[in-house]
Structure 1
Amino acid sequence: MMNPESTLMFAEAAEAASVVTRQRAANAARLAELVETLRARPPRAVITCARGSSDHAATFAKYLIETRLGLLVSSAAPSVASVYGAEQRLADVLAIAISQSGKSPDLLATVDAAQKAGAQTLALVNVADSPLAGMVDHTLPLHAGPERSVAATKSYIATLAGLVDLVQALAGDDELGRALDAAPTLLRQAWDADWSPLVDTLADARGLFVVGRGLGLGVAQEAALKFKETCGLHAEAFSAAEVKHGPMALVGPGFPLLILRQSDETGEGVDDLAAEMAARGGPVLIAGGEAKGAIRLPTVAGHPVIEPMLQIQSFYRAVNALSVRRGFNPDQPPHLAKVTETL
């Protein structure tokens, strides 16, 4: 069995705190200019365009922007532009494209269509000289550095940090700005959190649900993807408000749940759900809270907007170890490549 600490995924995820520090310093002047532009021409709504892990960051963006800026955020379906070629009316809309590589044809087609439809365009992208970066009106580089493991880690956390930086600047939210200042220190603490109970509980699992709500839903989606791509473990992400409908029929002995909870208005409801699920007899792992019968995963407390970022950092270390425990190489998932160029 390989050493989990020898993988590229481990090494790259461990860099997240340094990436966030580097990003904030490098983007400060660019961000100030972008905020000035957006305040002069305020968008009436926002659309996001992304795939994979980047799309999970877009879910986070939706909750962050809608709760902090009061702007409607919708996810653009790339095939509307890349396959159907449909024209849209997007005057006074801000289109945010999120990508590690900035190369996927459907993403580029969506941004091109948005510009032709009158939208301002912004890219959060890691490869600064990518086609995406070259075509948008504004860029916020992720500054994550090369990411060679197929499983995105530091670039995902960099995207969350970039989104928080943008929103705190637009909102003039000093408290959120200070929380982001503290994030690198907290990310290092989160990396050291012992989530070995997750590895032990899921070593032989065949499937599970990952549950979050609000700002935590995007990291629940990201965790579910990582279970699939690095561990060969089928996982589905649900909002805590949705899992009690049809999906609840699967919950019971032998069916695990991972619940991610942040300390905001959603917390009480998530606690109640965790207790109810644990009472059904299946293994329930909870991060950010506790419930009778559930296995508590240690977390680092912070501003509620930052806590999902901290939880996914702890998760990355654990899922890397789980991948190795289950006999996989997390750096080389079967049938996957680092850059997926969909049409």
Structure 2
Amino acid sequence: MGAEQQMTANGATLMKSEAAEAAEVVRRLVAANGPPLAALGQILRANPPARIVTCARGSSDHAASYGKYLIETLIGIPVASAAPSVASVFAAPVAPGSALCIAISQSGRSPDLLATVKAHQESGAYVVAFVNDETSPLAELADSCIGLKAGPERSVAATKSYIASLVAFVALVSQWAQDDALQAALTALPEQLEQACALDWTAAVDMLRDASNLFVIGRGYSFGIAQEAALKFKETCGLHAEAFSAAEVRHGPMAIVGAGFPVLAFATSDAAGDSVREAAAEFAGREAHMCLADARGGGNGNLPALPGHPAIEPILMVQSFYHMANALSLARGHDPDRPLYLKKVTETR
């Protein structure tokens, strides 16, 4: 058995070790981007955009879902997700106007993402890039570049770069809104991420080891984390998972949730979390196999979760989730670092 295979057999995968770097990544991101984020917040307060568009794919698009809720709840400007094929396939023009385009990418090199960003920029949008490769074409194209500072990520499964993307949104919005509570939560986040790494989510591994399908539920700030978890189940565990908001799951999908059907739910401590707790209680009443991470605590969840600012709680949950997903992947006989048919950078057109 080779060295890398032995390392995987022992559970010390690249996915696990890179996810564990998240706290240090956050420290670097905040320290390196303080002045540009402060300047960006001032620009956006002085010239609020009429519309905001995010541009991303995969895990980065799930970070954009999180950013949408953060911006809409704390700034009040609607946020839409761009469909890259509009620019790259249809070559359709973008209507001019006051706009902010936020592009999120680990590599900053996907042709369709770059085409979309250029189309919005040419229509007058101010472009902000959250990108890990600061030498990439996306970084060069952006009006303002926020480096994610995640460092090399060798595992195909993105972990620390995803968490960095979430934190970039927190850092941007806290400056833009001049939100002292969110800024304080951001300062405390690295230490909390270290604590989240140590939480025991073995109950989810035991419950999902032999599963074939499951739902992942979130709402509000935790919905983008539910989307990310569903993706990681598919790519690292060979497990079909679908993400739903706790509201949307009631519009049909919940009809198939019965005895033995597995559900993972992320409940924040705010009102959106109440909706997740209600859905989890209903599913548990049907004897579904429930795995609930509940930041409010009180014995409702069987997966430990750290309390904090409601916008920060999902970041802590996904940190705990990544370690569980790594263990589940190995328990199901997979290699989380090298999923079948996937590669690190996907250059879609």
In the alignment, the residues of structure 1 paired with residue 33 and residue 295 of structure 2 have an alpha-carbon distance, to the nearest angstrom, of: 34
The correspondence for 1:66, drawn from 58, 61, 72, is 72
Match in the other structure for 1:287? 293
Unpaired segments ≥5 residues, structure 1: none
In the alignment, the residues of structure 2 paired with residue 90 and residue 331 of structure 1 have an alpha-carbon distance, to the nearest angstrom, of: 43
Match in the other structure for 2:15? 9
CA offset at residue 40 of structure 1?
2.9
Structure 2 contact 55–103 (Cα < 8 Å) conserved: yes
In the alignment, the residues of structure 2 paired with residue 172 and residue 38 of structure 1 have an alpha-carbon distance, to the nearest angstrom, of: 11
Structure 1 contact 46–94 (Cα < 8 Å) conserved: yes
TM-score by length of 1: 0.97
In the alignment, the residues of structure 2 paired with residue 64 and residue 319 of structure 1 have an alpha-carbon distance, to the nearest angstrom, of: 26
Structure 1 contact 208–256 (Cα < 8 Å) conserved: yes
Matched, 1:79 2:72: no
Match in the other structure for 1:31? 37
CA offset at residue 3 of structure 1?
3.5
Matched, 1:296 2:302: yes
TM-score by length of 2: 0.96
Match in the other structure for 1:195? 201
Match in the other structure for 1:232? 238
Letter of the 2:153 counterpart: E
Letter of the 2:190 counterpart: P
CA offset at residue 334 of structure 1?
0.1
Cα distance per residue 1:318-342 (max 9 Å; x no partner)? 0000000000000000000000000
Q: Against the structure 1 CA distance between its residues 292 and 311, is the aligned structure 2 distance closer, same or farther, given a 3 Å change threshold?
A: closer
Aligned residue-pair number: 343
In the alignment, the residues of structure 2 paired with residue 131 and residue 249 of structure 1 have an alpha-carbon distance, to the nearest angstrom, of: 46
Q: Against the structure 1 CA distance between its residues 292 and 209, is the aligned structure 2 distance closer, same or farther, given a 3 Å change threshold?
A: farther
Matched, 1:136 2:142: yes
Match in the other structure for 1:332? 338
Structure 1 contact 47–73 (Cα < 8 Å) conserved: yes
**Tell me, what secondary structure is at the counterpart of 1:238?**
strand
Unpaired segments ≥5 residues, structure 2: 1-5
In the alignment, the residues of structure 1 paired with residue 27 and residue 172 of structure 2 have an alpha-carbon distance, to the nearest angstrom, of: 15
Q: Against the structure 1 CA distance between its residues 29 and 290, is the aligned structure 2 distance closer, same or farther, given a 3 Å change threshold?
A: closer
Matched, 1:103 2:109: yes
Task: Please list, as runs of the form range in 1=range in 2, the aligned pairs for 1:249-260 lying within 5 A after superposition.
Answer: 249-260=255-266
CA offset at residue 5 of structure 1?
3.4
Q: Against the structure 1 CA distance between its residues 290 and 20, is the aligned structure 2 distance closer, same or farther, given a 3 Å change threshold?
A: closer
Structure 2 contact 166–315 (Cα < 8 Å) conserved: yes
The percentage of aligned residue pairs carrying the same residue is 58
Cα distance per residue 1:26-64 (max 9 Å; x no partner)? 001111222222233221121000000000000001100
CA offset at residue 177 of structure 1?
0.1
In the alignment, the residues of structure 2 paired with residue 289 and residue 6 of structure 1 have an alpha-carbon distance, to the nearest angstrom, of: 28
Q: CA RMSD in A?
A: 1.6
The correspondence for 1:177, drawn from 178, 183, 187, is 183
Structure 1 contact 4–10 (Cα < 8 Å) conserved: no
**Tell me, what secondary structure is at the counterpart of 2:52?**
strand
Cα distance per residue 1:108-131 (max 9 Å; x no partner)? 000010011111111000000001
Letter of the 2:171 counterpart: D
**Tell me, what secondary structure is at the counterpart of 2:326?**
helix
Match in the other structure for 1:50? 56
In the alignment, the residues of structure 2 paired with residue 292 and residue 20 of structure 1 have an alpha-carbon distance, to the nearest angstrom, of: 29
**Tell me, what secondary structure is at the counterpart of 2:182?**
helix
In the alignment, the residues of structure 2 paired with residue 250 and residue 244 of structure 1 have an alpha-carbon distance, to the nearest angstrom, of: 11
Letter of the 1:180 counterpart: L
CA offset at residue 4 of structure 1?
5.3
In the alignment, the residues of structure 2 paired with residue 233 and residue 76 of structure 1 have an alpha-carbon distance, to the nearest angstrom, of: 28
Letter of the 1:81 counterpart: A
In the alignment, the residues of structure 1 paired with residue 43 and residue 87 of structure 2 have an alpha-carbon distance, to the nearest angstrom, of: 26
Match in the other structure for 2:3? none
Letter of the 2:319 counterpart: Q
